[in-house]
Amino acid sequence: MVDRELIVAKAATVRKHLKRIEIKRGDSLETFTNDIDRQDIVFFNFQMAIQNCVDIAAHIVGEEGFGVPGSTNELFYLLQENGFLQSEIAEKMARAVGFRNLMVHEYAKIDIEQVYTFAHEQLRDLNGYLVEIFKKSGIAV
């Protein structure tokens, strides 16, 4: 059975990290590219936010018996197949995991402009994921 308290706690953590990104991303690309401390803070908080989204997905998939994912991305597709996510959100979350993997494993190769853009345009996708999970789990948004 899905542990709603766990989901709420993980979602609160995601939102804390998203707020930190929002505060530290800066208003201009120039500000962001010239401040390595700001970049590090955004990188870390993205990693943590996305990982907590993955943790929520893994919990639901495991507790509901939706199958054994072959990859982290597949968690979101299993949620989609079982009515927890719309396909658009599942795709966006799979891309977010890919972005997280790039930040973790290919840190030196990461495109700072891409991170800046992601920090300004993709936060709503992670929030949208939480909203869908809350609705399907019967948790008040």
What whole-number percentage of the chain has pLDDT above 70?
98
**Per-residue DSSP letters for 72-121?**
HHHHHHHHHHTTSS-HHHHHHHHHHHHHHHHHHH-GGG--HHHHHHHHHH
Write down the pLDDT at residue 140.
Answer: 75
Q: The whole model's pTM is what?
A: 0.93
- Indicate which CATH number applies to the domain containing 103: 1.20.120.580
Question: Average pLDDT for residues 116-135, to the nearest whole number?
Answer: 93
Class of residue 33 by CB neighbours under 10 A (exposed 0-12, middle 13-18, buried 19+)? middle
Domain count of the fold of the chain: 1
Write down the pLDDT at residue 106.
Answer: 76
Q: Is the pLDDT assigned to residue 111 strictly greater than 90? A: no
What band does 141 get if pLDDT is binned at 50, 70 and 90? Answer: low
What band does 107 get if pLDDT is binned at 50, 70 and 90? Answer: low
Containing domain of residue 20, as a range?
Answer: 4-137
